[in-house]
Amino acid sequence: MAVYTDVSDDALVLFLADYAVGELRKKTPILEGVENSNYRLETTRGQFILTLFEKRVRKEDLPFFMALMTHLAAKSMPVAAPVTDKAGQAVKTLAGKPAALIRFMPGAPQMSPDEKHCAALGETLADWHLNIGDFSWSRTNPLSLSGWRELAEACRNGADGRAPGLAAYIDEELKFVSLHWPEDLPAGVVHTDLFPDNVLFEGARIAGLIDFYFSANDFFAYDLAVCVNAWCFDEARAFIPANAAALIGAYRQRRRLSATEIAAFPVLLRGAALRFLLTRLYDWINQVEGAIVKVKDPLEYRDIIDFHRVHDALTAISAND
């Protein structure tokens, strides 16, 4: 989440008039994240998240995201279905941008998650993967291998400005991942971006999953690898084996990992890290002047790749075989 587009109170009042959500009391910009403009709204009938879609989110993909949230909510997942206007529309236009209104989810993110938070995530992620089989929509993941190649090329001239030798490092890692990327693993629509700031907790219980706008068809084990990288390294970028064991162990209690998924997991971890190295680097190079946004450090994911090049994070799941 972030803020690129300013929305005036007058424009927002007119926008909300099409919904049965009451009158606006307060709007608060949300600074976390990097992709869209987000505001927390308080009205006379509750609290909501207003999202204006920018940058990588294509307008034609929005019905897919709205349908996905509706599907997961109907499966009793901790997901808020989008709010529709009085004509039944979930996506409208505000300040010249496509916009959607989502009911506010309770809870708060755990930015330093421990084993119990990781176990809750593993269970919830597995439940998503088990409940997505009858979802009829599909979306090709634009941030898989072909997208990584495009990003690497787009970042080539600016990469070494962030760290000397980074362009060559990316080329080397992209070559490795391309040579070893699996082709036939269990797959479906997955989140692909379940970082701690996209998971809301009440105590040790997950109260809400948010920010579905990278969701696409991909390997279930890749979705799990994204979570391992995001939840199982500390602020010093050191691996936390107990978090990984809790996350993967809880996942496997709900959904069994096949032998092919386990064998592919090391390269999935490296690919998942490369994806965020590239997107963060792209955002670092192409910062938007005047935007209210926190640009995240791409080198965090270079360090995670370095770990996976040397160490076998699979120990956490192999012990449970």
pLDDT digits (tens, 9 = 90+) for 201-229: 999 999 999 999 999 999 999 999 999 99
pLDDT at residue 317 tops 60 = no
Q: Tell me, what CATH number does 216's domain have?
A: 3.90.1200.10
Banded model confidence at residue 33, pLDDT cuts 50, 70, 90: low
Q: Tell me, what CATH number does 94's domain have?
A: 3.30.200.20
Banded model confidence at residue 5, pLDDT cuts 50, 70, 90: confident
The answer to the question of residue 4 being in a domain is no
Mean pLDDT of the chain: 93
| One domain for residues 74 and 163 | no
pLDDT at residue 157 tops 90 = yes
List, for residues 231-273, the tens digit of each pLDDT value.
999 999 999 999 999 999 999 999 999 999 999 999 999 999 9
Is the separation of the CB atoms in 244 and 228 below 8 Å?
yes
| One domain for residues 97 and 126 | no
| One domain for residues 178 and 75 | no
* Structure letter (DSSP) for residue 34: S
| One domain for residues 95 and 165 | no
Region 191-196 average pLDDT:
98
Final residue of a domain: which of 57, 78, 103?
Answer: 103
The answer to the question of residue 108 being in a domain is no
pLDDT at residue 162 tops 90 = yes
- pLDDT given at position 287: 82
The Cα 73–Cα 56 span in angstroms is 25
Helix or strand holding residue 304 (H, E): helix 299-310
The answer to the question of residue 166 being in a domain is yes
The answer to the question of residue 194 being in a domain is yes
The answer to the question of residue 222 being in a domain is yes
| One domain for residues 135 and 94 | no
Banded model confidence at residue 319, pLDDT cuts 50, 70, 90: very low
List, for residues 116-125, the tens digit of each pLDDT value.
999 999 999 9
- pLDDT given at position 34: 55
pLDDT at residue 98 tops 80 = yes
- pLDDT given at position 313: 79
Percent of the chain clearing pLDDT 90 (strictly above): 87
Hunting for tokens 């439940």 — which residue is that?
A: 127
| One domain for residues 79 and 184 | no
Region 190-201 average pLDDT:
97
The answer to the question of residue 2 being in a domain is no
| One domain for residues 29 and 88 | yes
The answer to the question of residue 109 being in a domain is no
| One domain for residues 175 and 195 | yes
Final residue of a domain: which of 43, 76, 103?
Answer: 103
The answer to the question of residue 3 being in a domain is no
pLDDT at residue 1 tops 90 = no
Give the structural domain span for 73.
9-103
The Cα 30–Cα 280 span in angstroms is 19
| One domain for residues 294 and 174 | yes
| One domain for residues 61 and 135 | no
pLDDT at residue 154 tops 90 = yes
| One domain for residues 85 and 216 | no
List, for residues 170-184, the tens digit of each pLDDT value.
999 999 999 999 999
Count of domains observed in the chain: 2
Final residue of a domain: which of 73, 103, 133?
Answer: 103
Q: CB atoms < 10 A from the CB of 161, how many?
A: 13
102 or 319: which carries more pLDDT confidence? 102
pLDDT at residue 64 tops 90 = yes
| One domain for residues 95 and 176 | no
Instruction: Please name the residues in contact with 111: beta carbons below 8 A apart, sequence gap of 6 or more.
Output: 196, 197
Instruction: Please name the residues in contact with 306: beta carbons below 8 A apart, sequence gap of 6 or more.
Output: none
